[in-house]
Amino acid sequence: YLRTGELHLPTSVCGPVVKSELEYWGVDELEIEECCWSRYSTWATTLKALRRLEDDRIESTVQIGQNNHRGNLSTHKEHCPKGWRFFSDPSSSSPAQIYAYFSILMIFISIFSFCAQTHQAFKVKESFKVLNTTDVSNSTPDVAALYLVTTDTNVTPVEGYRNTSQSDEGTADRYYTIIDDVVHPVLYFTDITCVAYFLLELLLRFLVSPKRFKFITMPMTIIEFLALVPDIIDILVKLLISSYLEYRTVTSHIG
């Protein structure tokens, strides 16, 4: 090439080697003579065709493997990604968007229920019997009033308490009725419904989460769970107290 100014290629050298040499010496490949150009350019076309065939073969092999693997996957594994998108991305589908709006509505209902339970307008009077066998024969009128002794005409029972029977020996009534302000039952059951909904939502999100351990250790998940704990405890305490009072009343009647 330096002697004649013409760049010819030997037949024993492949195209990639020639290309590397030309790049090393800074010679443009367009300097190759026409008689050798077709042989030089053929290698690139052949290499592209071989690479395409290899890519197609690999893709086909991977697809077959995925199909076989998918056939062995459980329904749970197949639907997990869809479920996670449903809960985490409202824009993924129309049902997901409806679910997001419904969740927001449930949050507002829960907040309203929590605030309304502290307001007198949303409370009702409720009466229930409680067993009382305390002896107050030597008590002061105020104490006697507390224990509902009705033998003293000057004693007025404290507000919220009413006698259910008369006592002749200064002993408090065996049963007395407590009349107290309690939260409206509608608000109580609304609170239970909201807590159940949020717990179910948290459980479903955990089940469809791609990385469950990461999900339960996320700050937002911990905050959501801790926010539900007081409501859960409050509901359980109310249920236990109600069950206990009913139990005492029934067993006392039997006794």
pLDDT on residue 132: 53
How far is it, in rounded angstroms, from Cα 25 to Cα 47?
Answer: 23
pLDDT on residue 163: 46
Centroid of chain to Cα 103: 11
pLDDT tens digits along 1-29: 556 667 777 777 777 777 777 777 777 77
How far is it, in rounded angstroms, from Cα 20 to Cα 114?
Answer: 77
* E strand or H helix at 124: strand 123-131
Whether 95 shows a pLDDT value over 50: the answer reads yes
pTM equals 0.50
Whether 98 shows a pLDDT value over 50: the answer reads yes
Tokens of 47: 């290499």
Contacts 24+ apart (CB under 8 A), 138-142: 138/170
Least confident of 68-72, 81-85, 169-173: 169-173
pLDDT tens digits along 191-229: 889 999 999 999 998 888 888 888 888 888 898 889 889
pLDDT on residue 62: 56
Tokens of 114: 């929590």
Whether 66 shows a pLDDT value over 50: the answer reads yes
